[in-house]
Structure 1
Amino acid sequence: MPLSEQEQRLLDEMERNLYKHEADIVSTSSGPRTVNYTRVALGIALVAAGLAVVVIGVVVQFALIGVAGFGLAVGGAMLALTASRPAEAGEAESGDAPKGGAAPKARTRSSLMDRLSDEWDKRQQQ
């Protein structure tokens, strides 16, 4: 069943908006990242401590202790989940340099969005 004229216009507009905002989406989520494992470990410890405080609050039947424990657990989860940041140029390279002091080769793999975009363009051309 073919699309009506209005549905086709709406689809075209959605595609234009997708292409327009695609660069913003890809630039914010791509690239190598580094993880601060100390923050992850501290966050996990805070989540565990927060859950223990929640249990203590339930046992002594004092709601304020349970709420404080929940807040501690949420804070720990946020700390652990925000422990990664974009890598800087020197941090992105691994320390696996070959013997002899040669620098590692740069990766030439294209990103998922680039490959999907190429496939989309090929389909549109056919």
Structure 2
Amino acid sequence: MPLSEHEQRLLDQIERALYAEDPKFASTVRGGRLRRPSRRRRVQGVVLFVLGVVALVLGLVFQWFVAGFPIVSVVGFLLMFAGAVLAITATGGKKGEAAAGEGDGKASPAGDKEKSRFTSRMEERFRKRFEQE
């Protein structure tokens, strides 16, 4: 549902006030994007998770205890956890590429494939609005 003209003016006014009050925060919020983890990172995470499952099961089957503590099973669980975190999180890499892409207002070819047309249009409108001021 689109905003009314009054609501749009109020939103623009709030955005201008935010830039005037705290430009560093505003630029941080504007530049922040959620990234998907790379394919390599996801594969590494899945492999680590599977190794963790194997270690967990082996620890239960062979019941290797150190001081009454199932150390192999715990290590397996930790490997599973680390693999899951690795597979679902993205690193902050490629900051230089993102900054270069924002400077000229053109998106990279790889970025175009990942973004939907709607998202691209909305980002472009948002960028144009603040470049005019």
TM (normalized to structure 1)? 0.47
| Structure having the higher Rg | 1
TM-score scaled by length of structure 2: 0.45
Structure with more helix by fraction:
2
Greater strand share, structure number: 1
